[in-house]
């Protein structure tokens, strides 16, 4: 190494610093986020869907392994924890609505959470998937950070859980309107709540596009199902 | 601002402590969320900063799970073997869950809270 100054060695060493991958991740994400806004937030334009393969390509191209990248971008993943805690605020803000409709909310939340887990794990086990893969799909209805935390707890793969949740969000938010119309659900509260329980933040975003009441109930469904699914799966984990 | 951040971190920390002490499989952050609801119920006051901080965090959730999603680069074999199963199971589970949740909600609304039925009648929704 030549001491200091402008040297190509110094520049290539920059690739190995947290600053480089952090800046690149935020930059690539922001670029896709701008495109996503231009598309009117179409589910298939979700920035994570495009940022992830681009970054994987860059890591491959530079011969960087995932462990190093993960350590460098720890600052971003760390924020997931406090963000999940912060979901308490919107739940608390909707307490009047929750108490007024406590019975329908509690019953449909429980039914939805059980259906989601049983259906996903049941079908996937027909494909002969091992436990780590089943544990990654079990929390598929919850918001991504919660799904990742649950999958991790159950011995699943958080990265896989994240991608499954994104896919579920796309499917749910794109098909909910025709599906619910076909079965003649004509109340925005049940429509929104169902979308939030099954398709988390994507569902809530879609519901808000349609109607404010549906949107509020979808956010509520998303937040409550994060707790319900975590609770149910921790009971399953204890039973196993 | 700092007090709101501290409140979030303190709840998360308490959640992690409970998680470790009880061996409960609930993630520490989810326990922290429940603790924060309890705190908000216990100490009632306006909290504009906490609302702003948590709304900012929620609005930027997506970028926070990019580092984890990139971890897929090491999951090639699993995706190749179970990709089809994962796609089918996820799609079917998502659609069935929407229908079951909406059906139970509608049934319970009529059965247990008839006063709420039709409070927000709905016009036909445009399909898009």
The verdict on A63 and A112 lying in the same domain is no
Task: Look at residue A205 in the predicted model and tell me its pLDDT.
Answer: 79
The verdict on A166 and A224 lying in the same domain is yes
Nearest to B106 among A141, A149, A187 (CB): A187
Final residue of a domain: which of A52, A78, A104?
A: A78
Distance CA A117, CA A171 (A): 16
Average pLDDT, integer, range A29-50: 90
Q: Measured between CA atoms, how close is B118 to chain A, in angstroms?
A: 8
What are A205's two structure tokens? Answer: 């975003």
Task: Look at residue B120 in the predicted model and tell me its pLDDT.
Answer: 54
Nearest to B109 among A83, A104, A167 (CB): A104
Domain membership of residue A55 (yes or no) is yes
Final residue of a domain: which of A78, A103, A118?
A: A78
Question: Per the structure, how many domains does chain A have?
Answer: 2
Task: Look at residue B125 in the predicted model and tell me its pLDDT.
Answer: 46
- Burial (CB < 10 A; 0-12, 13-18, 19+), residue A99, is exposed
Average pLDDT, integer, range B65-89: 90
Q: What percent of chain A has pLDDT over 70?
A: 96
The verdict on A210 and A120 lying in the same domain is yes
The verdict on A92 and A70 lying in the same domain is no
Final residue of a domain: which of A78, A109, A135?
A: A78
CB contact under 8 A, A119 and B89: yes
Q: Which of A3-7, A9-13, A14-18, A158-162 has the highest mean pLDDT?
A: A158-162
**Contact in structure between B29 and B12 (CB atoms under 8 Å):** yes
Distance CA B67, CA A67 (A): 10
Domain membership of residue A3 (yes or no) is no
What are A218's two structure tokens? Answer: 């979808």
Q: Is B42 on the interface with A (CB under 8 A)?
A: no
What are B121's two structure tokens? Answer: 């009648």
Task: Look at residue A189 in the predicted model and tell me its pLDDT.
Answer: 92
The verdict on A70 and A94 lying in the same domain is no
Note the ipTM here.
0.85
pLDDT at B18 over 60: yes
Domain membership of residue A91 (yes or no) is yes
From chain A, pick out residues whose CB is under 8 angstroms from the CB of B85.
Answer: 123-124, 126-129
Distance CA B126, CA B115 (A): 27
User: If pLDDT is split at 50, 70 and 90, which confidence band does A107 have?
Assistant: very high
Task: Look at residue B81 in the predicted model and tell me its pLDDT.
Answer: 92
The verdict on A189 and A134 lying in the same domain is yes
Helix (H, G, I), strand (E, B) or coil at A63: coil
Select the residue from A61, A62, A65, A86 to test the B interface by mutation, using most B Cβ atoms within 10 A. A86
The verdict on A125 and A235 lying in the same domain is yes
The 3-state DSSP composition of chain A as helix, strand, coil percent (nearest 5) reads 80, 0, 20
Q: How far is CA B99 from its chain centroid?
A: 19
User: If pLDDT is split at 50, 70 and 90, which confidence band does A93 have?
Assistant: confident
What is the torsional sign of CA B6, B9, B12, B13? negative
Task: Look at residue A236 in the predicted model and tell me its pLDDT.
Answer: 86
Task: Look at residue A230 in the predicted model and tell me its pLDDT.
Answer: 92
Chain A neighbours among B 60-119 (CB < 8 Å)?
Answer: 60-75, 78-79, 82, 84-106, 108-109, 112-113, 116
Higher pLDDT, A128 or A94: A128
CB contact under 8 A, B109 and A86: no
Mean pLDDT score across all residues of chain A: 89
Distance CA A234, CA A154 (A): 8
The verdict on A66 and A183 lying in the same domain is no
Domain that holds residue A232: 85-239
Distance CA A196, CA A202 (A): 8
User: pLDDT tens-digit profile of A45-75?
Assistant: 888 889 999 999 999 999 999 999 999 999 9
Domain membership of residue A120 (yes or no) is yes
**Contact in structure between A238 and B25 (CB atoms under 8 Å):** yes
Task: Look at residue B22 in the predicted model and tell me its pLDDT.
Answer: 84
User: If pLDDT is split at 50, 70 and 90, which confidence band does B119 have?
Assistant: low
User: pLDDT tens-digit profile of A182-224?
Assistant: 999 999 999 999 999 999 888 887 887 788 888 889 988 998 9
**Contact in structure between A188 and A180 (CB atoms under 8 Å):** no
Q: Is B3 on the interface with A (CB under 8 A)?
A: no
* Predicted model pTM: 0.82
Q: Measured between CA atoms, how close is B100 to chain A, in angstroms?
A: 6
Average pLDDT, integer, range A122-144: 95
Listed in sequence order, the residues at least 6 apart from A39 whose beta carbon sits closer than 8 Å to its beta carbon are A45
The verdict on A58 and A159 lying in the same domain is no
Q: Please report the DSSP string for B57-114 in residue order.
A: HHHTHHHHTHHHHHGGGG-HHHHHHHHHHHHHHHHHHHHHHHHHHHHHHHHHHHHH-G
What residue in B sits closest to A22 (Cα-Cα)?
B67
User: If pLDDT is split at 50, 70 and 90, which confidence band does B124 have?
Assistant: very low
CB contact under 8 A, B89 and A107: no
What are A160's two structure tokens? Answer: 């896989």
């Amino acid at each position: 190494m030549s001491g200091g100054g402008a040297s190509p060695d110094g520049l290539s060493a920059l690739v190995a610093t947290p600053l480089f991958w952090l800046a690149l991740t935020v930059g690539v994400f922001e670029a896709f986020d701008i495109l996503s806004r231009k598309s009117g937030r179409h589910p298939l334009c979700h920035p994570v869907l495009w940022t992830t393969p681009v970054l994987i390509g860059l890591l491959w191209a530079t011969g960087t392994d995932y462990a190093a990248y993960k350590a460098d971008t720890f600052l971003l993943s760390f924020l997931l924890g406090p963000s999940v805690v912060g979901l308490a605020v919107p739940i608390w803000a909707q307490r009047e609505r929750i108490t007024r409709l406590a019975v329908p909310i509690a019953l449909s939340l429980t039914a939805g959470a059980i259906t989601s887990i049983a259906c996903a794990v049941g079908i996937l086990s027909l494909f002969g998937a091992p436990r780590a893969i089943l544990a990654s799909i079990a929390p598929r209805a919850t918001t991504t950070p919660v799904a990742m935390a649950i999958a991790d707890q159950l011995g699943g793969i958080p990265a896989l859980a994240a991608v499954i949740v994104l896919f579920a969000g796309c499917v749910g938010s794109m098909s909910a309107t025709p599906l619910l119309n076909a079965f003649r659900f004509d109340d925005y509260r049940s429509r929104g709540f169902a979308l939030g329980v099954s398709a988390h933040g994507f569902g809530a975003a879609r519901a808000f596009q349609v109607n404010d009441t549906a949107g509020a109930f979808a956010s509520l469904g998303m937040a409550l199902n994060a707790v319900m699914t975590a609770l149910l799966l921790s009971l399953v984990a204890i039973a196993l | 601002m700092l007090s709101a951040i501290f409140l979030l971190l303190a709840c998360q920390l308490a959640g992690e402590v409970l998680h470790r002490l009880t061996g409960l499989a609930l993630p520490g952050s989810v326990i922290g969320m429940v603790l924060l609801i309890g705190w908000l119920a216990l100490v009632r006051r306006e909290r504009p900063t906490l609302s702003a901080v948590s709304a900012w965090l929620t609005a930027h959730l997506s970028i926070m799970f990019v580092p984890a999603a990139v971890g897929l680069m090491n999951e090639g074999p699993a995706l190749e073997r179970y990709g089809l199963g994962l796609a089918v199971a996820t799609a079917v589970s998502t659609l069935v869950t929407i229908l079951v949740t909406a059906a139970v909600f509608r049934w319970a609304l009529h059965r247990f809270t008839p006063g709420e039925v039709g409070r927000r009648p709905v016009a036909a929704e445009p399909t898009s």
